[in-house]
Amino acid sequence: MLESLMYISAANPDVGQRDLDDILHTSARNNQRAGLTGALVFSGSIFVQILEGQTAALDHLMAVLHTDKRHDVVTVVAREQLVQRRFSDWSMAFRQVDGLAAEQLHNQMGWDISIKRLLDDVPANRPLKALSASIAGLIEQGQPQWASSQF
């Protein structure tokens, strides 16, 4: 079954550019192999990612993310069946946001600067379609800072 999943996580404070490069290159390769598409937004303190693919592939990736030391408190915000992929062109698209864009992302997700404390109270039942549109909007402002095509 084709599904879409959105997760958030607090970034380990030691995450640097080398880590981001590794995440992007490894994810693009692995996502393409697993038939996953999606987009990742990083605000400097949180990761927000939407992934699309088969249930088993999403379950496997989430299990891997829960053991990844670069992420803390990985939380699935929404998950639902999908008729058509929104991110079909990207095995991994990425945008790093800061300043006002990061503040807007935190506000939209219902967070303030103390993200780790608030991860336990992530707003529930947000429609994934609306969240997906927001992430797509961030990615599509101009061109993604980094993107790997799907196939």
Is the pLDDT reported for residue 21 higher than 80?
yes
CATH number reported for the structural domain that contains residue 69 in this entry = 3.30.70.100
pLDDT at residue number 36: 95
68 DSSP assignment: -
pLDDT at residue number 94: 81
Reported confidence tier of residue 105, pLDDT bands at 50, 70, 90: low
Does residue 129 or residue 63 have the better pLDDT? 63
pLDDT in tens, 6-19: 888 888 888 888 99
**Side-chain half-sphere exposure of 73, counting CA atoms within 13 A:** 14
Is the pLDDT reported for residue 100 higher than 80?
no
Phi–psi pair at 111, nearest 5 degrees: -120, 155
β-strand pairing of 2-11 with 46-54: antiparallel
**33-65 as b/e, with b when 16 or more CB fall inside 10 Å?**
ebebbbbbbbbebbbbbbbbbeeebbeebeeeb
Task: Give the chain's domain count.
Answer: 1
pLDDT at residue number 110: 55
Which H or E run includes 50? strand 46-54
Boundaries of domain holding 144 = 2-149
Number of neighbours of residue 96 by Cβ within 10 angstroms: 16
Is the pLDDT reported for residue 63 higher than 90?
yes
